[in-house]
Amino acid sequence: MTDTLQSGRNRIQWAKAHMPIVAALGQEFAKTRPFEGLTLGICLHVEAKTGVWLEALTKGGANVVITGSPGTTQDDTAEAIRADYGVQVLGHRNETFDDHIEQCRQVLRAKPQLLSDNGADLHSLLFSEEEFADQIPQVIGATEETTTGATRLRELAPQQSFPTLVINDTQAKRIVENRYGVGSSVVDGIMRATNVMLHGKRVAVIGYGYCGSGVAMRLRGMGAHVTVVEQDPLIRLEAHMEGFPTEDLEPAIGDADMVVTVTGYDGIITREHFPLLKHGVILANAGHFATEMELDYLRSEATQVRRIREQVEAFEFRGKTLYLLSGGNLVNLAAGDGNPVEIMDLGLALQALSLAAMAKNAREYANAPQPVPRGIEMQVARLAVDHWIRKGLS
C-alpha cells in the first residue's frame, strides 16, 4: 500500500465519522439499490466528503465516473476512491481549466443516464457539442449543486429534455451550506494560505448572495472591516441593514487590503481594475472559477511573478505588488479542505436523495431545472436535527 493511498483512506474515514446522514443513506441504498444498472456522470470537487458520498452511491448499485474542478482535487483521496469503490476518477490537483473541460467530456463519453453537475459544465457540453447529441435522450435526470450552475441552467432550459433538480435552490443548501459552510471555510482557506491577521484588515467582499453574505459575516467576526459590493439594489439594501458599509466596485477595491470575489460570474475584476488596487493587496476568489478575475491579463502584464508561499503568488504590476491566492481557484478548497464535514453531510444527503428520486421517478418531473421536492429537503433537515442536535454531534 502506498503512503498516498493510506492518506486518502484516512481522510475519507475521518470524514465518514462526522457524516452520519450520508453514512446512514449508504446503508439504506445497500438494501434498496436505487441505482442498479445505472451510470452516474459527476462533476463535483474530489475530496474526502465526496468520497463518503460516492461510497453511498456505489452501495446503491451505481457505476460512477467523476471529475473535479481546477485546483480542488485531493490526489490522495482520488487514489483511495479509485481503489476502494471502483469509481473512475478523472482529473488531478494541478489541472488547467482546459483539462477540466476535457475531463467533463470524458465523463459524458461514459454515457451516463444520471448527471450530478457542478456549475452546469456537463449540461453545457451535452447541449452544445455535436459529439453528445445522440446521448441526450439517454439521460433520464440530473442534479445541479451551485448558484453558478443554476444560472447557466436557466439559460439552457429551452434545450432540456430531462429534469434537473437544483440543490442550490433549497433553503437547506442556501442557508446551512452556502452561508455558514462557505463563510467559515473561505476564512479558513485565506488564513491557511497567508497566515496573516484579519483583525483590522479592510476587506472588499464582492457579491452578497448566500455565499457572499456568509463570507462577509465570518470576516467581520474575525475583526476585519468589511465593505460589501453588490449590484442588486435589494440585496445591497440587505447588506446595509445587516450593518455593512456598501460601495461601488472601484472605490471599494481601491481602499482594500484584501478583495474577495463571491459572485459566480466571469470578469468581475478586469484589466481596468488592477491599476486601482493598492500595493500589497491580497486577491482571493470564493466564486466558482478563477475567471471571476482577468488573470491572463495580469500574468501577461506583470513584470515578475513569484510563488512566495504554496498558495500565494506575488505579481509585480506597475510598481506595485499584488498577491493572488490559489491561482484564483476556489480558495476554500484549493487552500483548505472546503466546507466543514458536517455541513457537507447535509448537502450531499440532498444530492443522494435527489439522485435516487431521479432514478426512480424521473418521468414525474418536468423537463427543466427545478427545485428539489420539499419532501426531500424536509427529510434531510429532520435527519440533520436528529444527528446534529438530539444526538449531540454538533
- Cell numbers standing for residue 81: 476512491
Residue 213 marked as a ligand binder: yes
Residue 214 marked as a ligand binder: yes
- Cell numbers standing for residue 283: 486577491
Query: What are the φ/ψ torsions at residue 352 (nearest 5 degrees)?
Result: -60, -45
- Cell numbers standing for residue 259: 478583495
Residue 60 marked as a ligand binder: no
User: How far apart are the C-alpha atoms of 375 and 13, rounded to whole Å?
Assistant: 30
Residue 148 marked as a ligand binder: yes
- What per-residue string of b and e applies to 153-180 under the rule 16 or more CB within 10 Å gives b? beebeeebebbbbbbbbbebbbebbbbb
Q: Burial, 184: exposed, middle or buried (Cβ in 10 Å; 0-12, 13-18, 19+)?
A: buried
Query: What are the φ/ψ torsions at residue 310 (nearest 5 degrees)?
Result: -55, -40
Residue 332 marked as a ligand binder: yes
Residue 210 marked as a ligand binder: yes
Residue 123 marked as a ligand binder: no
Query: What are the φ/ψ torsions at residue 206 (nearest 5 degrees)?
Result: -100, 110
- Cell numbers standing for residue 212: 457572499
Residue 354 marked as a ligand binder: no
Q: Burial, 265: exposed, middle or buried (Cβ in 10 Å; 0-12, 13-18, 19+)?
A: middle
User: How far apart are the C-alpha atoms of 113 and 135, rounded to whole Å?
Assistant: 9
Residue 288 marked as a ligand binder: yes
Residue 212 marked as a ligand binder: yes
Residue 147 marked as a ligand binder: yes
356 and 22 in contact (C-beta within 8 Å)? Answer: no
Binding-site sequence positions for NAD(+): 146-148, 209-214, 230, 286-288, 332
Binding-site sequence positions: 146-148, 209-214, 230, 286-288, 332
